[in-house]
């Protein structure tokens, strides 16, 4: 949510000389994204995103992230495309001592209060991403999957109770439950893993782009669907909106049909998806630097979502057709 590295004009000019993008007309650091430094660059040839990858994104993962964006975009998913350097040496450069990439700019606005029709569009885009990503050659393990949850829970330990009374016991019990019930034999593939409304752009009601692939990995496709469901289908009052859930899941299913095993697993997967964000938000909340400007997101939002899914016995109870 900030610019961590200040890029000066000499460095920018030298960097741009490696690309076929013309000369800079405007260059603004923007307050957006995971912990990277992001700039909007306007040149006489167009508009671009310039990202410098700071600590949270590992350099070794960039070929996966950038390669995936390129792979999906060339197959028709509306998503940013990393620009290739003129000398054919790829899309990953170094700028101010950090890995950096120039990425095409996508117009559109994210919806902080998505409507049912936005949910429908998101469901379709996610199914498209899963179908189109099927042939991508690189793989990346999900650092935020079940093993990752256990590691984070261990780091958090009893401190969870500072966030909400009894939370450490809720987490331990949920990890036990998911350890027993987590499905292993569902369709796997490339997932976005973070398709929150911030990461989907719209022009009016038309979906113009899926962005921020920096959690993408290989895992259960239906897990990606419930991560998205959790992010799009609860109201701000934390009530589950059945109409939005039906729109998201049915639109997804029209473009990548869900097996009955996947449908049956949704409640368990949704608990795992809720636990994943409960855990990362809890640790971000506990480890926020004193006086930081960026407020961490509320972990209790995901505790409430987890509790909701704990009451659900079957996908039919979400209002979805089994």
**Binding site residues, a copy of itself, CB under 8 A:** 1-4, 6, 8-10, 23-32, 40, 42, 107-113, 203-204, 289-294
Shorter beta-carbon distance to a copy of itself: residue 6 or 173: 6
Dihedrals φ, ψ of 203, to 5°?
-110, 110
Rounded least distance, CB 66 to a copy of itself, Å = 21
**CA separation for the pair 226, 222 (Å, rounded):** 6
Shorter beta-carbon distance to a copy of itself: residue 79 or 265: 79
**CA separation for the pair 215, 259 (Å, rounded):** 25
Rounded least distance, CB 2 to a copy of itself, Å = 6
Rounded least distance, CB 201 to a copy of itself, Å = 8
Shorter beta-carbon distance to a copy of itself: residue 205 or 254: 205
Shorter beta-carbon distance to a copy of itself: residue 10 or 180: 10
Rounded least distance, CB 173 to a copy of itself, Å = 34
Burial class of residue 83 in the structure, from the number of CB atoms within 10 Å of its CB (0-12 exposed, 13-18 middle, 19+ buried): buried
**CA separation for the pair 217, 81 (Å, rounded):** 18
Q: Which residue is it, tokens 């498209």? A: 128
Shorter beta-carbon distance to a copy of itself: residue 239 or 287: 287
Q: At what angle do helices 116-132 and 242-255 cross, to 10 degrees?
A: 30
Rounded least distance, CB 118 to a copy of itself, Å = 11
Shorter beta-carbon distance to a copy of itself: residue 55 or 204: 204
Q: For 163-172, which contacts have Cβ atoms below 8 Å and span 24 or more sequence positions?
A: 163/282, 163/285, 163/286, 163/299, 163/300, 164/299, 164/300, 164/303, 167/282, 167/303, 170/303, 170/306, 171/275, 171/278, 171/279
Rounded least distance, CB 138 to a copy of itself, Å = 30
């Amino acid at each position: 949510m900030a610019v961590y590295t200040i890029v000066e004009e000499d460095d920018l000019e030298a960097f741009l000389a490696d690309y076929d993008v013309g000369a800079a007309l405007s260059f603004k650091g923007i307050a957006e994204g995971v912990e990277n430094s992001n700039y909007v660059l306007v040149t006489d040839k167009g508009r671009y995103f310039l990202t410098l990858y700071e600590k949270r994104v590992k350099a070794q993962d960039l070929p996966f992230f950038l390669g995936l964006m390129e792979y999906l975009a060339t197959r028709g998913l509306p998503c940013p495309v990393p620009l290739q350097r003129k000398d054919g040496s790829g899309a990953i450069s170094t700028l101010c001592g950090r890995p950096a990439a120039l990425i095409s700019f996508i117009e559109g606005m994210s919806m902080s209060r998505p409507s049912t029709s936005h949910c429908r569009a998101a469901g379709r885009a996610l199914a498209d991403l899963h179908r189109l990503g099927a042939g991508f050659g690189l793989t990346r393990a999900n650092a935020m999957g079940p093993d990752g949850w256990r590691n984070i829970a261990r780091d958090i330990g009893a401190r969870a109770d500072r966030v909400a009374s009894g939370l450490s016991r809720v987490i331990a019990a949920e990890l036990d439950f998911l350890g027993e019930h987590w499905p292993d034999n569902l369709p796997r593939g490339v997932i976005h893993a973070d398709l929150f409304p911030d990461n989907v752009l719209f022009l009016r009601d038309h979906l113009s782009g899926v962005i921020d692939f920096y959690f993408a990995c290989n895992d259960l496709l239906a897990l990606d669907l419930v991560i998205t469901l959790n992010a799009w289908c609860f109201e701000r009052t934390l009530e589950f909106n059945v109409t939005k859930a039906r729109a998201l899941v049915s639109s997804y299913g029209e473009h990548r049909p869900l097996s009955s095993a996947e449908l049956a697993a949704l409640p368990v997967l949704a608990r795992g998806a809720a636990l994943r964000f409960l855990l990362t938000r809890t640790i971000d909340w506990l480890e926020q630097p004193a006086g930081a400007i960026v407020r961490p997101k509320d972990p209790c939002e995901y505790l409430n979502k987890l509790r909701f899914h704990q009451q659900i016995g079957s996908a039919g109870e979400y209002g979805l057709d089994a």
